[in-house]
Every structure is written in C-alpha cells, then in structure tokens.
Amino acid sequence: MLRVLSIDPGETTGYALGVADKEKLFLAYNEERFNHNEFWLFLTRAHLHHNLHTVCEDFEFRQGKQKDGLNLYPVELIGITRLFCSSDTWHPLWMQKAAQGKAYYDDNKLKSMGVYQKGLDHGRDAARHLLHWFNFGAGYQFNEDPTVELVVEEWIRNAYF
C-alpha cells in the first residue's frame, strides 16, 4: 500500500492525500490556512505511519512575474516540510517545480477523470502534483495503472492516515 501526501505551500496551503494499491488510487484534497505550528502538527498527524511519501511544490523566484511584494511564506512552509521529512528516513521528500503537473493535469483532464472539485484551487494544484509524481515522476515505480477515485478526506484519513 502506497501512501502519499502532496503539498502546495502558501498563505492558503493545498494538500492532497493519496493511497494506492494495485487496482486503485484513492485521492482526497483540500486547502487550509496554516500558521507554522499548525502546519507542523498537520505534518505530524499525516506522518503517523512509516513510509509516507511527501511531494512538495518548490519555490521559484521569477523575475518580472511578481506584481506586488514578494511573499516568502511558501518558502517557510517548504523549510518546515524539509525539516520534518529529514528527521526520519521513512518519510522521503520529493520536490517538484510549480509547472509540473499543470500542463498535463489541467482542469479538463481532472474533470474527465472525475476528480475535479470546484473552489479548491490550491488543493487541485496539490492533487496535480500528486498525480504527476505518481504517473511521471518517482512514484511511477509504484504505479500499476490503477484507476483514480476521488474520496472524502475524512474517509481516507480514518482509513489510512
């Protein structure tokens, strides 16, 4: 059984939880505004079991793309994630660029897969990162072409996290 947590860090942090066996990838995603301590506790609760893979969007400064002041809060959450995952060898961390997953897993693709949820922009981005990692990244080694099923977050947390 493969367990994955995917994070899209920011003022509103998106996250996706995935559990896969040979036949199905169960996926739930949401978003929340965390302060530093709340985010640490969120990671602690998600990582109660060993061998949880964490996928996190990396921060890229893009000159000329910034409209207002530079918001470095995502970098702080990335630092917390790196620290947390480095404290235990059973929690591998995979960093991905912001653009990864967005080209292939656009909203139309998510809708055709039956995993699109309206109003959760950051959660959807975290789901895109999880799906990209699982199908095209390091998670491919665990992928035996299961179908994807969107589930309720409470169910996946109670059953697998």
For the domain made up of 2-61+69-160, the CATH class stated in words is alpha beta
Indicate the SS3 state at residue 114. Answer: coil
The stretch 91-105 carries a mean pLDDT of 89
Q: Can you give the pTM of this predicted structure?
A: 0.91
Between 138 and 4, residue with greater pLDDT? 4
Report pLDDT for 51. 75
Measured over all CA atoms, what is the biggest interatomic distance in the chain, rounded to whole angstroms? Answer: 46
Confidence class of residue 1 from pLDDT cuts 50, 70 and 90? confident
Report pLDDT for 49. 65
Provide the residue ranges of all domains of the chain, joining segments of one domain with +. 2-61+69-160
